[in-house]
Chains A and B, each alone.
Chain A
Amino acid sequence: EVQLVESGGGLVKPGSSLKLSCVASGFTFSSYGMHWIRQAPKKGLEWIALIYYDSSNKYYADSVKGRFTISRDNSKNTLYLEMNSLRSEDTAMYYCAKSEFGDYWGQGVMVTVSS
């Protein structure tokens, strides 16, 4: 059974940093690209980053480019999202998702940026 479990969220002040993790199981993690996608409260879905299976390519949404970094450790079956210079508009539920078209998603982790 495919499982994706996010962690690392919380309440932080504007300008702070936070690092999210997504631990994968039930599939060969090192064979698949992985995404981070977020959803602000009562809002729609926003794709924010993708990393190829071998970390050879990374793509970002303009809204996070230069502030967020996606990475992975295939030996630990873990995906990461390092978030710097956080803003109130980054407040959202953050999901990791597997493969090109998000065939499996985690349960999400909440990030709240507020003073």
Chain B
Amino acid sequence: DIQMTQSPASLSASLGETVTIECRASEDIYNGLAWYQQKPGKSPQLLIYNANSLHTGVPSRFSGSGSGTQYSLKINSLQSEDVASYFCQQYYNYPLTFGSGTKLEIK
């Protein structure tokens, strides 16, 4: 199984700041990576797919990058509504696997 190591586990940043969340795969996943945002009490929502493609309706302050085994999600100009948990997921191979999540709070 492909292991997804996500960091940091938690993050506190100020409004307007830029934050980056990282995910490392245990083997090459050839950009088969998605990022999700989950707000408290809600279901996850897709942000990014194919490592760097923005899902419909997602604000452009979210961006994804990376290749091979290393991927990242960047949030520019942090807004209060970005308070959430963020998860990466590889869909290159079965079983699909998720990172352990990053909880983002506002300072």
**Residues in A lying within 8 Å of B, measured CB to CB:** 35, 44-47, 50, 59-62, 95, 100-108
Contacts and interface: CB of A to CB of B under 8 A. Distances in A.
A44 B96 CA distance: 14
Contacts of B87: 44-45
Given A100-B91, A102-B36, A47 B43 contact: no
B100 interface: yes
Contact of A105 (B32, B45, B50): B45
Given A102-B34, A102-B89, A47 B95 contact: yes
Interface of B: 32, 34, 36, 43-46, 49-50, 55, 87, 89, 91, 94-101
A101 B97 CA distance: 11
A103 B43 CA distance: 12
Contacts of A44: 87, 98-101
B44 A105 contact: yes
B43 A59 contact: no
